[in-house]
Amino acid sequence: MDTVMMGHSLLWEVIKQREALYAKVNFTDEDGLKASELEETFETVIILFFCFLFFRLQK
């Protein structure tokens, strides 16, 4: 799965940043805000990816 994700640089960067944040021992409010931004970006990219696949398969 990582190999597939690595093929999409934005998605891979978001995943790595998200993992680094959640691995922190002292998770701050600022980290929480950053994590929510990363989650939103992650969801948007995943939705766009699946929309692309859906329409691609319709052809």
Summarize pLDDT for 4-57 with one digit per residue, the tens: 667 778 888 999 999 999 999 999 999 999 999 999 999 998 898 889 888 888
pLDDT score of 52: 86
**Domain span at residue 27?**
2-58
pLDDT score of 9: 85
pLDDT score of 1: 64
SS3 label, residue 30: helix
Asked if 11 contacts 50 with a C-beta cutoff of 8 angstroms, the reply is: no
pLDDT score of 54: 87
User: CA angle, 27 as apex, 18 and 17 as ends, to 5°?
Assistant: 15
Domain tally, the chain: 1
pLDDT score of 7: 77
